[in-house]
């Protein structure tokens, strides 16, 4: 039985630059429970793949894990921005690449128990290389890796970033069935 | 260029029942920047699949999205608990199923920019049905769905839960290559 949870009280614990931290007291089937949550403005991720199957990947230091992580290019949606616009902007800012065609690969919910973030995933083809322009406090290494190798790194557990796993496995599925 | 971020100051904003909310001031290449983060104890997710390819899925209300979401069975790791033990416990608590064999499908990082959560994903086979025993404030619908249909729901965008997409696509990849 699915029981909707009615909000009895909402405490805004912290209103940050990016995240809002919220604790709700909810009614679940007549009983009270607490729900600790993070509200996020939403993000985008882009699989930018060239005609030979090489994907533009980025490697950057991620503070929560205290290490550099290999990912598809990604970023936050600016206020009022359409996801497709964010995707084009982030791809070019981070990597310098622009693309002729963007196709939606759907939405990705990172961790449904406590964050409301939606990451909109796109497949970008018809790539042209230009100049990157990362944010001032953003340091990113760009690596072009063949999708077959990325899939191997996913299956071996070397790639752990969630949006990257979802986006690449969807892309691989599309390529195998439609284009090869 | 990958630049590690040195913590200059850490503010613990809130120490919740599950989440800890933290704001770091970091040094990035000589400049100060803020990092808003959520610390999480870690979780597990289980693809429990029977000999005919049917997967045990759960549907439950998820407060951050204010709707019911279709997922693989999952849960938090208890303090000091091994992930494989959590996986066995959560599968049986949520669905009643137990499994003869558990195999790791690797780690999943939900959203590398702000959470340190690691979700350990497992593939469970050799299923036996028993009684479920969900937590008092946990209401879950159990649905057995064939993996081919789940993959279709992922590709169409109907399934958006990240760990579910990653775990099912990895499972599908293994089945296609090894067992079919």
Per-residue pLDDT reduced to its tens digit, A136-179: 767 899 999 999 999 999 999 999 999 999 999 999 999 998 75
pLDDT tens, residue by residue, B52-90 = 999 999 999 999 999 999 999 999 999 999 999 999 999
Please, are residues A122 and B68 in contact by the beta-carbon 8 Å criterion?
no
Q: What is the DSSP string of chain B?
A: -----EEEEEEEEEE-SS-EEEEEEEEETTEEEEEEEEE---EEEEEEB-TTSEEEEEEEEEGGGTEEEEE--EEEPPTT--HHHHHHHHHHHHHSEEEEEEEEEEEEBS-TTTB---EEEEEEEEEEE------TT---EEEEEEHHHHHHHHHTTS--BHHHHHHHHHHHHHIIIII-
Q: Which of A61, A119, A157 sits opposite B3 (nearest CB)?
A: A61
Answer whether B111 touches A (CB < 8 Å): yes
Model ipTM value: 0.96
Answer whether A17 touches B (CB < 8 Å): yes
- φ, ψ for residue B76, nearest 5 deg: -85, 150
Answer whether A116 touches B (CB < 8 Å): yes
Q: Which of B16, B19, B162 sits opposite A110 (nearest CB)?
A: B162
Residues 130-169 of A with CB under 8 A from B: 136-137, 139, 141, 151, 154-157, 160-163, 165-166, 169
pLDDT tens, residue by residue, A69-99 = 999 999 999 999 999 999 999 999 999 999 9
pTM of the model: 0.96
Catalytic positions of A: 136
Query: What pLDDT is attached to residue B118?
Result: 98
Query: What pLDDT is attached to residue A135?
Result: 73
């Amino acid at each position: 039985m699915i029981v909707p949870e009615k909000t009895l009280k909402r405490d805004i614990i912290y209103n940050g630059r990016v995240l809002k931290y919220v604790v709700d007291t909810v009614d679940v089937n007549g009983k009270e429970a607490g729900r600790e949550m993070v509200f996020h403005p939403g993000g985008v991720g882009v699989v930018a793949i060239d005609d030979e199957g090489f994907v533009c990947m980025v490697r950057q230091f991620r503070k929560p894990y205290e290490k550099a992580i290999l990912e598809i290019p990604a970023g936050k949606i600016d206020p009022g921005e359409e996801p497709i616009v964010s995707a084009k902007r982030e791809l070019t800012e981070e990597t310098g690449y622009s693309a002729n065609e963007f196709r939606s690969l759907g939405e990705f919910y990172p961790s449904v128990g406590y964050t409301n973030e939606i990451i909109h995933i796109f497949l970008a083809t018809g790539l042209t290389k230009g100049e990157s322009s990362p944010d001032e406090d953003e340091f990113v290494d760009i690596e072009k890796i063949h999708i077959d190798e990325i899939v191997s790194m996913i299956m071996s557990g070397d790639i752990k970033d969630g949006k990257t796993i979802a986006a690449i496995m969807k892309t691989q599925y599309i390529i195998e069935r439609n284009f090869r």
